[in-house]
Amino acid sequence: MKKRILVSQIVTLLLLLAARPESWLLFWAGLAVMLLGQLVRLAASAAIVKSKTLTVTGPYAAVRNPLYLGTMVMTAGLMIMLSSPSRPALTAALWAAAAAAFGWIYYVTIKAEEQYLQSVYGEDFVKYKAAAPAILPTPSGLAGFFDFSAYSAEVFRKNKEWRGMTAAALLAVLVAARIHYGF
C-alpha cells in the first residue's frame, strides 16, 4: 500500500480525537509497551539494508517484518494509553477500529512487499519465507534480535528511524496533556 503512512496517520488522528484518555496508570503502562515497540523498530532499522539485499539476519532472522511488529506493539501501547476505564464501550470500539484499520493496512502492505521480494530474490525469498514467520516471532527465533553482528550504525542513520521516534514522543505528550487537562 503506497499510502500506508498517510492512512496510518489519519487513523491515528481519528483514534486520538475519539478517545477519552483518563488514567495515568494506563498511560505509563502504554508508554512502556510503546517503548518496547520502538526498541523492536530501532533494532530492525539498524539491520535492514533496504532495496539492496534480502536481509535475513538480526531481527529479520526472528520475523520477516520486524518494523511492522514494532509498529503493532507501539500501536498497542498507544491504545492502552487511550483506554478509558469509565467508558468500556468506547474503549472496545477504539480497539476494534485500530485492529481493523491497522490489520488491513499491514495485510495489504505485507502481501505486496512479499510479491515484490519474491520477484526480485526468487527461491532465496521462498526459503526465507518458510524459515521466518511474518509477524510474530517464535521463541527460538528471538535469538536473532541478539545477534549484534547484524546491526550497523550507518544503516541505522540511513533509515531515519528518528522520525518514528519523534512521532511516538509527540503522541505520548499529547495523550499526557489530554489526561492532565481533561480534554
pLDDT tens digits, 85-100: 999 999 999 999 999 9
Q: Residue 123 has which C-alpha cell?
A: 527461491
Q: Residue 63 has which C-alpha cell?
A: 520475523
pLDDT tens digits, 55-111: 999 999 999 999 999 999 999 999 999 999 999 999 999 999 999 999 999 999 999
DSSP secondary structure string for all residues of 39-51: HHHHHHHHH--TT
pLDDT tens digits, 112-160: 999 999 999 999 999 999 999 999 998 888 888 888 888 998 888 888 8
Is residue 13 within 8 Å of 5, Cβ to Cβ?
no
Any alpha helices (H) in 19-150, and if so which ranges? 24-47, 59-62, 66-82, 88-121, 123-131
Predicted confidence (pLDDT) at residue 1 exceeds the cutoff of 70:
no
